[in-house]
Amino acid sequence: MTRPATEPKPADATPVDAIDLRREYEAVDIASVLGQLDQLDKDIANLTGPAARAQAYAIEMITQRYEEAQTAVVNAKKINVILSPDAVMYAPDAINVTPAITAELDRIAPTVSTAAPANWQPTRQTVALQQQLQQLAQLRAQYARQQGAAAPAGAPAAAGAKPATKPQPQGR
């Protein structure tokens, strides 16, 4: 509690006492703020926990059907080898089977449940995949903010516009 400006200071108060009181007040204030931040973090975790659990369960249900979808695409297109994108330096878009696998997943599992059984725990693979998806979403949001900041004033971004891609290197 602060004293009104009209109230006289005690005769025995020294500048050192005032500094000590200020430090004590700041320490109590910082501790109070840290306690409030901890409580807010707990509240956020309590509010987002059920949604994160439902998302993880849905991811796991989809990944359980992935191999089935991939096999169907491989058989339909008579593919002999599938390489991960990071193993290929260049490939034309025509050999990208990701859209075909996505379409097959949509066909065989158009919806998945988000209601996880009470005793269900996500696998490590599911947790890792969920974290990767969250990181991708954050990167996309950051990229969108950067593109919005780079756009000239008064020029709205085109809806659904894809960013320009760099040409891929073509051999040596």
Is residue 127 predicted with pLDDT exceeding 90? Answer: yes
DSSP string, 31-77: HHHHHHHHHHHHHHHHHHHHHHHHHHHHHHHHHHHHHHHHHHHHHHH
DSSP string, the chain: -PPPTTSPPPTT--HHHHHHHHHHHHHHHHHHHHHHHHHHHHHHHHHHHHHHHHHHHHHHHHHHHHHHHHHHHHHHHT-S----GGG-S---GGG--HHHHHHHHHHH-S-------TT----HHHHHHHHHHHHHHHHHHHHHHHHHHHSPTT-PPPTTPPPP-PPPP---
Residue 31 CA to chain centroid, in angstroms? 30
pLDDT, tens digit (0-9, with 9 covering 90-100), for 85-108: 889 888 888 889 999 999 999 999
pLDDT, tens digit (0-9, with 9 covering 90-100), for 15-26: 666 677 677 666
Q: pTM for this structure?
A: 0.61
Is residue 119 predicted with pLDDT exceeding 60? Answer: yes
Give the Cα separation of 53 and 60 in Å (integer). Answer: 11
With contact defined as beta carbons under 8 Å apart, do 88 and 52 qualify? no
pLDDT, tens digit (0-9, with 9 covering 90-100), for 30-87: 778 888 899 999 999 899 999 999 999 999 999 999 999 999 999 999 999 998 888 9
With contact defined as beta carbons under 8 Å apart, do 19 and 77 qualify? no
